[in-house]
Structure 1
């Protein structure tokens, strides 16, 4: 079997952008190759055309092109032509694409198309309670209607997307994202920097960072030794129009808390694991995800996680067993969970051990690769 992925991001030095979608695609691509599947990845909106090999995965970089009129249409047709050429030349059996911005809208691919519900603009707008641009909805709906089937990383993401676009739930298969567990080993879970909180993700309102500032203020008031480390790029704030969400976040910290915050910005992915291992507790108070890769990565490294309690997170964590679920607006409850973990080393190790077990049984990419293969075969 030969599977192709269309995406705007992929973890490779020659690719412009890589985030959670990129990581999930690479984890799956590498696992599929190990099982004898041929994998090609088509990465659009790149600086130059190129073909590169990485972990036995062939990556096609497709350069951004501008047209005099209707670039949104003609660039899609350009991608379509290139992908169909490779489909015919290399006998690709099936193409997978993301729902975000409906990149496959108006494409006519020569093999079945499966769309993975990484999170459409419509999905995130609904969770953010903001209005979506009409053209984005049109593109996403056209792309989804043109697909043969859908894969959702959580039941929640699948159900919400089905409601938004009028999709048949019978055509949505839930398959979680997975991790290469041998790449996530923490042999000394008892060694960490005490009272250190870690947040990883874009500094943006929908990730609950403004609530995190208030949570940390409460934590510091009870524990002056607490430290908050933030990793991720800054983003403009859609609600206020400010150019920096971090500036808004910073303005919310008390004087005492502000002195205990360390914002590292974007750092190489290879360095993130060490920060997770050194942290005492990882926090992800997000309002909008489909699953949340950094949550399961932290769990795999045996870290106690205090996560959001919204929809998708209930499929990742069993509250009080392998992590905690608290709504981001419940400031006192959220900070109480953090302080409880800070004050009980045995509890931290028990929760961390349970987190690793949860990831091993639910998010093992080797097991999930077989599930994906079976689903692909059912669609051919």
Structure 2
């Protein structure tokens, strides 16, 4: 079986951008290769055209192009011709693409198309309660209607996307993202920086970072030595037009809190794992995710996590057992859960151990890959 992925991001030194989606694709791609599946990855909007072999995965970098008119259309047709040529010459049986921006709208592909709900613009706009550009909605719906089937990383993401676009739910299969668990070992879970909070993710309103600033203000009043570390790129704010969401956070932090905040920006992936191990508690007060890779990565490294209570997170964490679920707008309860973990180290360790067990039973990439193979085969057989 030969499976291809279309994506704008993938973890490789020659690819300038790689976030949670990229990590989830690579985890799956490398594991599928180890199980005897041939994998090709098409990475579009790149700085150059190139073909690379990486961990047995064949990566096609496809350079971005500009046209005098309708670049959004002609670049898609360029991708279509490039992909179809490889589909035919390399006998690709199935192509998987993301829902974001409807990249496969206007494409006529020579392999069955599966779209995975990494999170469409429409999905995030709905959760974030903001209007979506009509063009973006049309592109995403056109792309979705061309697909033979869909994969959702959580049942919540599948159900919400189905509602938005009027999709047939029987064509949606829930298959979680997975982790290569041997890459996430914490031999000393009892060694960490006491009362240190860690947030990982883009600094953007939809991820609850403004609420995070309010939460930390509450924490610092009770625990004046607490620290907050932030990892991730800064983003402009769509609501205010401000170029920096971190600047907005600075306006929310109290004078006491500001002294104990450290913003690390974007750092190498290996360093992120080190920071997770050093943290006492990891916090993700997001309003909009499909699953949240950093949540399960933190759980795999035996960290107690205080997460959002919205839909998708209920499929990751059993509240009070292997983490806490609190709505981001409930500032008091959120801060209380953090302080409780700070002051009960035995609970912190136990919750971290239970978090690891949850990841082992639910998010092991080896069993996740088997589910993907089975689903791919069912679609290919209907070709």
Tell me which residue corresponds to 1:284: 284
In structure 2, C-alpha distance between the alignment counterparts of 1:39 and 1:250, rounded to whole Å: 44
In structure 2, C-alpha distance between the alignment counterparts of 1:305 and 1:191, rounded to whole Å: 16
Tell me which residue corresponds to 1:344: 344
How many residues are treated as equivalent by the alignment? 380
Tell me which residue corresponds to 2:297: 297
Tell me which residue corresponds to 1:213: 213
Query: Structure 2 regions of 5+ residues with no counterpart?
Result: none
Tell me which residue corresponds to 2:193: 193
Tell me which residue corresponds to 1:86: 86
In structure 2, C-alpha distance between the alignment counterparts of 1:272 and 1:348, rounded to whole Å: 20
Structure 2 residue 36 is matched with structure 1 residue 36 = yes
Tell me which residue corresponds to 2:45: 45
Q: State the Cα distance separating 1:16 from its structure 2 match.
A: 1.7
Structure 2 residue 32 is matched with structure 1 residue 10 = no
Q: For residues 141-220 of structure 1, what are the structure 2 equivalents within 5 Å? A: 141-220=141-220
Tell me which residue corresponds to 2:129: 129
Tell me which residue corresponds to 2:119: 119
Structure 2 residue 268 is matched with structure 1 residue 268 = yes
Q: State the Cα distance separating 1:269 from its structure 2 match.
A: 1.1
Runs of 4+ aligned structure 1 residues displaced above 2 Å come to: none
SS at match of 1:379: helix
Q: State the Cα distance separating 1:270 from its structure 2 match.
A: 1.5
Deviation string for 1:189-236 (max 9, x for gaps)?
Answer: 000000000000000100000000000000000000100000000000
Query: Structure 1 regions of 5+ residues with no counterpart?
Result: none
User: Could you tell which deviates more after superposition, 226-235 or 63-72?
Assistant: 63-72
Structure 2 residue 315 is matched with structure 1 residue 315 = yes
Q: State the Cα distance separating 1:67 from its structure 2 match.
A: 1.2
In structure 1, C-alpha distance between the alignment counterparts of 2:259 and 2:341, rounded to whole Å: 22
Q: State the Cα distance separating 1:265 from its structure 2 match.
A: 0.7
Tell me which residue corresponds to 2:355: 355
Tell me which residue corresponds to 1:54: 54
Q: State the Cα distance separating 1:69 from its structure 2 match.
A: 1.3
User: TM-score normalised to the size of structure 2?
Assistant: 0.99
Deviation string for 1:149-171 (max 9, x for gaps)?
Answer: 00000000000000000000000
Tell me which residue corresponds to 1:98: 98
Tell me which residue corresponds to 1:76: 76
Deviation string for 1:305-347 (max 9, x for gaps)?
Answer: 0000000000000000000000000000000000000001100
User: TM-score normalised to the size of structure 1?
Assistant: 1.00
Structure 2 residue 370 is matched with structure 1 residue 370 = yes
Structure 2 residue 236 is matched with structure 1 residue 239 = no
Structure 2 residue 138 is matched with structure 1 residue 138 = yes
In structure 2, C-alpha distance between the alignment counterparts of 1:84 and 1:16, rounded to whole Å: 25
In structure 1, C-alpha distance between the alignment counterparts of 2:100 and 2:20, rounded to whole Å: 13
